[in-house]
Amino acid sequence: MTRRYPVTRLRRNRSDDATRRLVAENNVSPDDLIWPIFVTEGDEQTAIEGFHGVVRYPLKDLPSVAKQARQAGIPVLALFPDINLALRDDTASQATRPDNLICRAIACVKDREPDVLVMADVALDCYTNHGHDGLLRDGYVINDETIEVLVRQALVQAQAGADILGPSDMMDGRVGAIRQALDDQGLINTRIMAYSAKYASALYGPFRQAVGSSAHLVGDKKTYQLDPANSNEAVRAAAMDLDQGADMVMIKPGLLYLDILYRIKQELRVPTFAYHVSGEYAMLKAYGDDRLLLESLLAFKRAGADGILTYGALEAARQLGG
Ligand code: PBG
C-alpha cells in the first residue's frame, strides 16, 4: 500500500461536507450530554455573577426545563441547590433531610418528566457554613465522619428519585459506603457516577457563586481534591472507585485535563465522563465564538469521553438539531 503523494491525497476525503461526515472518526450527539441546573428556593429566576447567562431556576420552572431537555434529546439533568444561607450549619444538617431543596427538585422533575434522568451531587459544600465538602475539625476535613453524612445524603436523594448519584466530595472510601447503603435499601439500580479525578482547580468560581459557597469558603480544597501535578494518582483513584462499585467515572475539570481523560479511558475501559466546568464555560463565553462549544465537546469525545457535563448542553443539542 502506498502512502505517497500524489497517489495519496489526504485532501480528497476533505473535499465536501458529505465526505467529511462519512469519514468522521468521532461525533457529538445530544445523547452524550448532561445538563447541570441550579435550583433556588425563591419564586424567580436569579442571575449568577460571572456565569454568562446561566441562572438559578425556581422549582416551578423545573418541569419546563426538563421538558426542554427531553425535547432536545438530552438524557440527564444534574441538579444543584442554592440552599438558604440561614439553613447552612457546621454539620450540614439540611443535606440529610428528605424534604430539602434538592430532594424536592428531584421529585419535581421525576414527577413531571419521568424519562429524563436526574443526577444529584453527594457532597456537603452546598450545606455547610464553611463551604467545604465535608465536616471540619480543627480546620481539617475529616474523612470517615463525613462519609456517614454523605451516606445519609445519598439515601435521601435516591429515595426522592435520583437516578444517578455523583459523589463529588473526594473522601476516601465514600463510593463503597454509598453503594452498600443503597443496596441495603434495595436501591440496587441507583447508579453512581464517581467524581474520581476531581482536581483542586481554579476553574470552579462561577459554580461556587451559583451555590452560594464562595463567599464563606474558608481556605482551599487541596487536602481532598487532586493535585493538578498528578496523573497516575487519577488513574488509581478511578480504579479504586470502580472497585467500590462506581458504574461510571468522571474527570473534572475538562479541557485542561484531557490527558487524564485519555489515560483513564485507555487504561480502565469503563464509561468515562468529563465535566466541562463553570470556569471553562465562562472562558468560552468570554471568547464569544459560538462554534467553540461543539469543537470543545468534540475534543472530549476524541479523548475518549462517553459523555460530557456542560452548561452549554441545551445550546449544543439545539445546534446539533435536537
Ligand atoms: C461540589 C462541586 C463543585 C463542582 C461540582 N460539584 C465545586 C467544588 O468542588 O468546589 C464544580 C462544578 C463547576 O465548576 O462547574 N463538590
Tens digit of each residue's pLDDT (9 = 90 or more) over 252-279: 999 999 999 999 999 999 999 999 999 9
Q: Average the pLDDT over 239-244 and give the result.
A: 98
Count the Cβ atoms, other than its own, within 10 Å of residue 219. Answer: 13
Confidence of residue 1 (pLDDT cuts 50, 70, 90): low
Do 276 and 296 contact (CB within 8 A), yes or no? yes
pLDDT over 90 at 154, yes or no: yes
pLDDT of 143 reads 98
User: Locate cell 463529588: which residue?
Assistant: 168
**Separation of alpha carbons 127 and 131, rounded Å:** 7
- Lowest mean pLDDT across 17-26, 106-115, 198-207, 208-217: 208-217
pLDDT over 90 at 88, yes or no: yes
Which H/E stretch holds residue 55? strand 55-58
Residues framing ligand 1 (Cβ under 6 A): 121, 123, 125, 133, 168, 204, 207-208, 277-278
Question: The C-alpha cell of 313 is what?
Answer: 448542553
**Separation of alpha carbons 57 and 293, rounded Å:** 23
The answer to whether residue 265 is catalytic is: no
Q: Average the pLDDT over 143-167 and give the result.
A: 98
pLDDT of 322 reads 66
Confidence of residue 215 (pLDDT cuts 50, 70, 90): confident
Do 122 and 154 contact (CB within 8 A), yes or no? yes
User: Locate cell 471568547: which residue?
Assistant: 287
User: 259 CA to middle of ligand 1, Å?
Assistant: 20
The answer to whether residue 198 is catalytic is: yes
Q: Which of 252, 265, 285, 301 is an active site residue?
A: 252
